[in-house]
Structure 1
Amino acid sequence: MSAPATEKHPVDQVLPPGPSLLYAFQHVLSMYAGVVAVPIIIGGAFKLSTADQIYLVSASLFMAGLATLLQTLGFWKIGARQPIVQGTSFVAVSSMLAIGASTGGGHEGLQQIYGALIVAGLAGFILAPVFTRLLRFFPEVVTGTVITMIGLSLIPVGVDWAMGGVGSPEFGEAKHLGMAGLTVLIIVLIYRFLPGFFGRIAILLGLVIGTLIAIPLGMANLDAIGEAKTFQVPTPFHFGAPTFEASAIISLFIVMLVIMTEATADILALGEVCEKPADRDTVTNGLRADTLGTAVAGVFNGFSLSAFAQNVGLVAITGIRSRYVVAYGGGILIVLGLFPVLGALVATVPMSVLGGAGLVLFGTVAASGIRTLKEVDFSGNANIVIVATSVAFGLAPIVRPEIWEHFPDWFRTIFDSGITSAAIMAVVLNIVFNIIGRDSSEGPVFSHGGAPGAISDTDEERLDPRGERRDRGQANLEDGDHWPRGRGPTADR
């Protein structure tokens, strides 16, 4: 009699097409504004025509879809095979605007950006295995802090959306905040009184119902639907052959390292949310997908790509962990890129409605980080100082965006991101307090063992799927010994 087949982890389960499409569309609606914002900002700053701006938006959606499929389905050693939604990264905006200012914008500026993206993306692809050797410096005290910071850094974005969107002439008016509050109320009521399937699509229902209410109130813009083309295929080097300027390449390579840092945090966070912790190979493969997607985006007129943190919150709040659901989302993004008129239809969702949903999502990310931090031993001062200082340092550029304006460009590129600031500070302080300067009177990094602040042997075994450490460690175990969730073998007492 054959043994029963091992049940697949929820991340690898394939759901029926109908629910998968609904869940996937929820993911797309949650991240759509973030994808289209960057090409709109760049297109406006570079003084591109309306047709060129629409082309940039379509190309960005198309590339986000391809990168999402690459990340979720993967091939060879590329793709984390997690429910990760890829979108256009905001980290590169300031550097790209600087490149545009030096070239006078227009097609010439785009050509220089795309040349730099191709080189930076390929360099990041090559460096991914080296970069992930740093994972030993990401114990719970670091990852929990960074996950919390991801959520906190996104909340101001949700607030801006709830107020009608920065730049809107009606920004901050009561009607926008009222619509955002109504959207939050709808989502909360659905979670409270319609559990099960409807609870899992509460965000989608909130967005749809909120938009339907906003249309007769004149708060939904339907003009873009009539202006968009029906069908459009992104073509390589649409704006001309790329150019390769050393200064632009160096600038976007630094940006690429920052994006890789944030992507690492997102992949680790998603592993915790999905209860399938990411090992070193998973993170390496995820970074390869990020960087390769960015290089290909330079060919097909997109921009730098990275995992979208808001969708990590959506996975956490819905409990739908299947990567194939997110792959459906990648397919939807590709269709939206090929049919600009459909993208314009999605864009009718008012910013205030999106903001209401965003506040719920982004708060969920922060809550996931707090849940990770509960695994940390705070009996001493070391870990309290690490978390407190890192969160404060990460919040600095969020509450005061101009804080680093008198610092060099390279410094601002790195530390203008609250997520990157908190990650760097947490890693450095963890090394200072828990590795090279550990006080034996302080509590350990993990709640069940007396560990220096790197990672436990259990976690190191997880990060080394080839089992070299496991084989070496098990050989030293004596009868009656076991591996706790601490640093090494401990005899039963």
Structure 2
Amino acid sequence: MAAASTSKRPEDERLPLGRTFAYGLQHVLTMYGGIIAPPLIIGGAAGLDSTQVALLVSCCLFVGGVATILQTVGVPFFGAQLPLVQGTSFASVATLVAIAQGDGGIQAVFGAVLVAAVIGFAIAPFFARVIRFFPPVVTGVVITMIGMSLTPVAANWSMGGDESAADYGSLQNIGLAAMTLVIVLLLSKVGNAAISRLSVLLAIVIGTLVSWALGIADFSEVGEGHIFELPQPFAFGAPVFEVGAIISMVIVVLVILTETTADILAIGEIAKTRVDSKRIADGLRADMISSIAAPIFNTFTQSAFAQNVGLVAITGVKSRFVVTAGGGILLVLGLLPILGRVVAAIPLPVLGGAGMVLFGTVAASGIRTLSKVQFSSQNLIIVAASIAFGMIPVVAEGFYDNFPTWMGTIFHSGISSAAIMAIVLNIVFNEIKLGNTKGGSVFHAAPPRMVKTEEIRSLREGDHFEAGKLIDAKGEEVPVVTSEQFTVALAEHLKACDQAGVEPELPDGVEKQEVLEAAEGVREPGAAPRT
């Protein structure tokens, strides 16, 4: 296996078959709009007709399903064995559109993807060795930025997804998204754990039914076309290899490797499981081998989907086998175009409403990671500069239009921008100590962290906090009580020891009689008697 499988890993949990496929379907619905958008955009740019574009979509689903199964199940050297959904990367869309509009057309797209993926596969193991440069101050920034950069996607879906449509941004579309969002929140509040975990899926189903009743969802084209169809290798002809297109795609692959590394680290943080350089290398190799196979089966570069990282965080379902089931569903959708057309009929505003919660949850997970960081002046400036830099392409899409093409390709993504800035600044401020300010700076106004002696006098070796609870070395919870509750409990313990004829052990400086007297007035030993 790609990583040693043990029953103690959260991602190795096995759920009942029905729940496994229900949660897997939820993953598919969450990323469906994102996985079919690239072939629609690239196919349109290449001048393909509707039948050819439909073929691109089916191949995209099929390869995404196979890649997801490989990533989650894992074989030696391939697959991170984490709940990561794979699909066509949005990071490549702008570059592939430019290539598709050139003389080589869609064949040049497939040729560039094939060669760039081979190069990416070769450098994946070396890329994974930079794990030491991803401490919490870096991963927290990247995870936060993943959620923040995906928010415009949810907003666009909520408005309708097609800026040229007459109803784009209409109150009807936004209202449908808002309704879906409210349903997710209400179902999440329901006391039933199963309903809460399926809140996103149920909200999408309810939202789709409501939109169908209102005449918004259109299922009239579901019955048109083939019911079953196998993907044909090189259906568009032999790939064409153009040097310029290949160089552009190599840069894109570097960005994809950066984003996938960030997603692997993010899902590891959310699942509370160990992620090392070997596991990252296995995940990146799975990414790249899938990207090599992708153009053979008429589709594009593969990478982990950040929105599904948010779904893991919001549902708490960390099992990789749930995502394996989702990969199986994607594969079937790719073989059964009719099922894909059913899912494609879900209105984008419904997906947008669900996406608001999902993408926000990713950002919240990043903030939780940053809460572990000691905010010295260096770390504060790293976080501040990286997030601000990462937000530039999100809030100002044309910022890099006049820069060299290679630079725009790298920094057009808020995720890769923030990741690069955070990594570089972490090296400059935390790895290279020379020149660091010893006494703090204008960016650091917080007081030093201190703990009073009396706050730790009762702690013992092995005591630690988990989910807000104090746990001892044996894994048992240690109650956290007020001074008055402590006094009363200690007095009851002393009385029990007297009855058993056992000499009790008392905290330093505390006398037995003082405790018994204090308990009568419910006061802390050593404090003045209550009046």
Indicate which of 111, 123, 126 corresponds to 1:127: 123
Q: How does 1:45-56 map to 2 (within 5 A)?
A: 45-56=45-56
Matched, 1:329 2:326: yes
Match of 2:196 in 1: 199
Instruction: Write the letter of the residue equivalent to 2:235.
Output: H
Match of 1:31 in 2: 31
CA offset at residue 245 of structure 1?
1.4
User: Aligned equivalents of 1:96 and 1:413: distance in 2?
Assistant: 11
CA offset at residue 325 of structure 1?
0.7
User: Aligned equivalents of 1:99 and 1:353: distance in 2?
Assistant: 32
CA contact (8 A) 2:6 2:12 kept: no
Matched, 1:181 2:178: yes
Matched, 1:397 2:393: yes
Match of 1:415 in 2: 411
Match of 1:145 in 2: 141
Q: What do the CA deviations read for 1:162-210 (whole angstroms, capped 9, x no partner)?
A: 1111333211100111111111111111111243111110000000001
Instruction: Write the letter of the residue equivalent to 1:242.
Output: P
Instruction: Write the letter of the residue equivalent to 2:31.
Output: M
User: Aligned equivalents of 2:357 and 2:351: distance in 1?
Assistant: 10
Matched, 1:223 2:225: no
Q: Which runs of 4+ in 1 moved over 4 A?
A: none
User: Aligned equivalents of 1:253 and 1:291: distance in 2?
Assistant: 12
- Change in CA separation of 1:172 and 1:6 when aligned onto 2, cut-off 3 Å: closer
Q: What do the CA deviations read for 1:358-413 (whole angstroms, capped 9, x no partner)?
A: 000000000000000000011x3211111111111111111110011001110010
CA contact (8 A) 1:143 1:265 kept: yes
Tell me the SS of whatever aligns to 2:326. Answer: helix
Match of 2:270 in 1: 273
Give the stretch that moved more between structures: 65-74 or 130-139. Answer: 130-139
Match of 2:437 in 1: 439
CA offset at residue 442 of structure 1?
4.8
User: Aligned equivalents of 1:345 and 1:442: distance in 2?
Assistant: 59
CA contact (8 A) 1:141 1:376 kept: yes
CA contact (8 A) 1:35 1:88 kept: yes
CA contact (8 A) 2:181 2:353 kept: yes
Instruction: Write the letter of the residue equivalent to 1:308.
Output: F
Tell me the SS of whatever aligns to 2:303. Answer: strand
Match of 2:288 in 1: 291
CA offset at residue 117 of structure 1?
1.1
Q: What do the CA deviations read for 1:229-268 (whole angstroms, capped 9, x no partner)?
A: 2111111111001121111111111100000000000000
Give the stretch that moved more between structures: 285-294 or 188-197. Answer: 188-197
Tell me the SS of whatever aligns to 2:105. Answer: helix
Tell me the SS of whatever aligns to 1:272. Answer: helix
Tell me the SS of whatever aligns to 1:225. Answer: coil
CA offset at residue 293 of structure 1?
0.5
Provide structure 2 residue ranges, at least 5 long, that are not aligned to the other structure: 442-447, 450-460, 465-531
CA contact (8 A) 1:268 1:277 kept: no
Match of 1:110 in 2: 106
Instruction: Write the letter of the residue equivalent to 2:29.
Output: L
Tell me the SS of whatever aligns to 1:87. Answer: strand
Q: What do the CA deviations read for 1:74-103 (whole angstroms, capped 9, x no partner)?
A: 111100000000011011111111112221
Provide structure 1 residue ranges, at least 5 long, that are not aligned to the other structure: 444-448, 451-480, 485-493
Instruction: Write the letter of the residue equivalent to 1:155.
Output: T
Matched, 1:261 2:264: no
Match of 1:88 in 2: 88
User: Aligned equivalents of 2:221 and 2:243: distance in 1?
Assistant: 38
CA contact (8 A) 1:228 1:344 kept: no
CA contact (8 A) 2:27 2:311 kept: yes
User: Aligned equivalents of 1:315 and 1:28: distance in 2?
Assistant: 13
Tell me the SS of whatever aligns to 2:350. Answer: helix
Q: What do the CA deviations read for 1:12-35 (whole angstroms, capped 9, x no partner)?
A: 122111000100000000000100
Matched, 1:19 2:19: yes
User: Aligned equivalents of 1:224 and 1:6: distance in 2?
Assistant: 47
User: Aligned equivalents of 2:154 and 2:337: distance in 1?
Assistant: 25
CA offset at residue 6 of structure 1?
7.5
**Count of residues in correspondence between the two structures:** 440
CA contact (8 A) 2:148 2:360 kept: yes
Q: What do the CA deviations read for 1:279-303 (whole angstroms, capped 9, x no partner)?
A: 1111000000111111100110011
User: Aligned equivalents of 2:333 and 2:272: distance in 1?
Assistant: 32
Tell me the SS of whatever aligns to 2:213. Answer: coil
CA offset at residue 7 of structure 1?
4.3
Give the stretch that moved more between structures: 185-194 or 197-206. Answer: 185-194
- Change in CA separation of 1:6 and 1:246 when aligned onto 2, cut-off 3 Å: closer
User: Aligned equivalents of 2:146 and 2:274: distance in 1?
Assistant: 18
Instruction: Write the letter of the residue equivalent to 2:437.
Output: D
CA offset at residue 226 of structure 1?
3.0
Instruction: Write the letter of the residue equivalent to 1:86.
Output: Q
Largest Rg, 1 or 2: 2
User: Aligned equivalents of 1:6 and 1:156: distance in 2?
Assistant: 39
Instruction: Write the letter of the residue equivalent to 2:78.
Output: I
Q: What do the CA deviations read for 1:326-355 (whole angstroms, capped 9, x no partner)?
A: 000000000000011100101111111100
TM-score by length of 2: 0.80
Q: How does 1:330-349 map to 2 (within 5 A)?
A: 330-349=327-346
User: Aligned equivalents of 1:6 and 1:396: distance in 2?
Assistant: 42
CA offset at residue 136 of structure 1?
1.3
User: Aligned equivalents of 1:442 and 1:304: distance in 2?
Assistant: 45
Instruction: Write the letter of the residue equivalent to 1:406.
Output: N
TM-score by length of 1: 0.87
Instruction: Write the letter of the residue equivalent to 1:209.
Output: I
Q: How large is the Cα RMSD of the aligned pairs?
A: 2.0
CA contact (8 A) 2:10 2:273 kept: no
User: Aligned equivalents of 1:206 and 1:163: distance in 2?
Assistant: 18
Match of 1:424 in 2: 420
User: Aligned equivalents of 2:414 and 2:224: distance in 1?
Assistant: 37
- Change in CA separation of 1:228 and 1:387 when aligned onto 2, cut-off 3 Å: farther
User: Aligned equivalents of 1:224 and 1:409: distance in 2?
Assistant: 40
Match of 1:454 in 2: none
